[in-house]
Chain A
């Protein structure tokens, strides 16, 4: 009995000694900041930063003082926390979100045949080019939903994927997963985007789909900022850098293919500051501002589209956005 206790205890003591020594001699030196940074990163290992997972990116951030914050999910407080750990200010990349450029639900867009194979978009695409008649149409089998590590995409009742802006980090996994290349990354605060990427002619497209872009160019013509380009072989594209979010394009689009993502707050004139110069009246694309010179102007909220042009131009800083 005692011999057994001594034997086992002795083995334990020897093993403890060996482990103790090796833990000192073979210790892997790790910068404690790496662990701290890693704790702040989202931990989804999505690879959008360009490194092999969050740990590799944390290591890069700590070891390479020139490394930039390329993780699309880090912003705000988290960004500040990581900057504090590293002791250098990190700039945030322009945050992006995913946008599905198709509004062709099964009711709106024709199918060429009945597909009964594996429920995966890539697998469906190799079968005679996919069952959806429009080659730019969403196949609706949800491969983008499957690859999203942030649970930010779900299939809606309309058979199309919907992106939850709050959850989307703009990692681009879904963009790569879509065999038809219809998912695009756009700035997170983008207000309007065109829900169609068809390069078929309007006539060909219309035979297949009732909601696609017919390339009428009404949106491009009305856009006061020349932010929209459209041609015979390309659906309308909104240049998000030029877009002032006036929403005129949405109001004229005959097929309703332009999506309103974020409706901007409307403008209001601060009466005390207004000098009555009338610039707002001249600049307003929808004639929402009115008044008499040298008297405070007013903006008709019903007409205002929140483009913010007047706010930019007002010399007296007398226009603000109505916080809703």
Chain B
């Protein structure tokens, strides 16, 4: 079975939700949509308080190529252009609060019928951008940018990421089981944009039902590939290594080895955008963990408040940590005054038993992190440099190649927050390079 070098085997905990069908989250009274939900240049709000908006209406306009807009999740009135704690940065960030009118009416012209196989590639990319598509695995990189590689890069492999290697999460799994045609449509559209004859649909072996279903539904140009169950199998570079055997060079991008990877959820969104012009205003999210009473997979509008989702899932029991994303790479939240974003692949509530809040000890140089690192780095050395703020030296140890998957931190017997040290070094390096650019 195909896989990559390194990695770990955490308990996958997916049984909490992987057999629970997706349910629609009821509409909230008030949605708060963050203006910045993607990696890249910011977007500018274009609505004002008091303005009436319809579902799917543009709320912001992108500033620059690597930028996408956000759309109204339902019809109603803009209550305010305000600020709310951002789940990724933890700081107050601009957001648009929309009071629902309960009618949930589409803006004129959406949804519409269009045939992506007669449209030009540029028109398809424009649709994808205008619909605000970002990578829905969590990294939120604008999809249209990923699908427009520079001319000098030869792309020969398109991989659809159905690995969902993060423990606990089953949103992509459920989507593959319940809506396979949408994903397959999206794959075919992406193949047309990239001018490629076939795609590889990679699914981790712990989802045999999804693999079987996809194999039966897939047309010949889509080859379904089973992957070994190992974390981080769904990390872009590891996935490429597993499927093609190619290693993305240090500091490089997947396109440097001729590969483009899209998440299965993103492919479904591509189908919505290109077939019906429907913007990205909802997603599938796993609300799971032993700290939530009834774990569910929900189809939720972007901007739905966390508090209402928790209520919808029966409330909390002995909660210790609320995480947006999975337990390995997700971000712990301190406030319930936040809302779902395009990249929220899961809402995980861990109990006191599941978490280990303790201090860390000195590195004993056991080398377990070195074995686990899927990028072939030496996390132990980087963590020691992190303690001493030696970001320059860490650069020589390929600091920037770390994908922050958390495998090293997971295996560390000294409980060292290695990824935190590495993020710290990266922040120091960024600050220094920003300073030298400014000077």
A174 to B91: give the CA distance in the assembly, Å.
Answer: 24
Stretch in B254-262, B283-291, B416-424 with 4+ CB within 8 Å of A: B416-424
| Complex partner residue of B421 from A113, A118, A125, CB under 8 angstroms | A118
Chain A's closest residue to B435 (CB) is A176
How far does the Cβ of B422 sit from chain A's closest Cβ, in whole Å? 10
Chain A's closest residue to B88 (CB) is A128
A122 to B424: give the CA distance in the assembly, Å.
Answer: 7
Chain B's closest residue to A113 (CB) is B334
* Interface assignment of B223: CB less than 8 Å from any CB of chain A: no
Contact A118 B386 (CB under 8 A): yes
Contact B332 A128 (CB under 8 A): yes
Taking CB atoms and an 8 Å cut-off, the chain B residues in 411-434 that contact chain A are 417, 420-421, 423-424, 427-428
Instruction: List the A side residues contacting B335 at CB < 8 Å.
Output: 112
A114 to B148: give the CA distance in the assembly, Å.
Answer: 43
| Complex partner residue of A129 from B90, B332, B389, CB under 8 angstroms | B90
Instruction: List the B side residues contacting A135 at CB < 8 Å.
Output: 91
A135 to B332: give the CA distance in the assembly, Å.
Answer: 19
Contact A126 B334 (CB under 8 A): no
Contact A118 B417 (CB under 8 A): yes
Q: How large is the interface on A (under 10, 10 to 19, 20 to 34, 35 or more residues)?
A: 10 to 19
A130 to B421: give the CA distance in the assembly, Å.
Answer: 15
Taking CB atoms and an 8 Å cut-off, the chain A residues in 80-121 that contact chain B are 112-114, 116-118, 120
| Complex partner residue of B427 from A112, A126, A128, CB under 8 angstroms | A126
| Complex partner residue of A116 from B357, B389, B421, B423, CB under 8 angstroms | B357
Q: How large is the interface on B (under 10, 10 to 19, 20 to 34, 35 or more residues)?
A: 20 to 34
Contact A116 B386 (CB under 8 A): no
| Complex partner residue of A126 from B332, B387, B423, CB under 8 angstroms | B423
* Interface assignment of A36: CB less than 8 Å from any CB of chain B: no
How far does the Cβ of B231 sit from chain A's closest Cβ, in whole Å? 22
How far does the Cβ of A46 sit from chain B's closest Cβ, in whole Å? 16
Contact B387 A118 (CB under 8 A): yes
* Interface assignment of A8: CB less than 8 Å from any CB of chain B: no
* Interface assignment of B359: CB less than 8 Å from any CB of chain A: yes
Instruction: List the A side residues contacting B427 at CB < 8 Å.
Output: 122, 125-126
* Interface assignment of B316: CB less than 8 Å from any CB of chain A: no
* Interface assignment of A155: CB less than 8 Å from any CB of chain B: no
Chain A residues with CB under 8 Å of chain B are 112-114, 116-118, 120, 122-123, 125-130, 135
Q: Please, could you name 19 A-B residue pairs with CB atoms under 8 Å apart, sorted by A?
A: A112-B90, A112-B334, A116-B357, A116-B359, A118-B420, A118-B424, A122-B389, A122-B424, A122-B427, A123-B420, A123-B423, A127-B90, A127-B420, A128-B91, A128-B331, A128-B333, A129-B91, A130-B90, A135-B91
The 9 A-B pairs of least Cβ separation, nearest first, read A128-B90, A113-B334, A123-B424, A129-B90, A129-B91, A117-B420, A112-B334, A126-B427, A117-B417
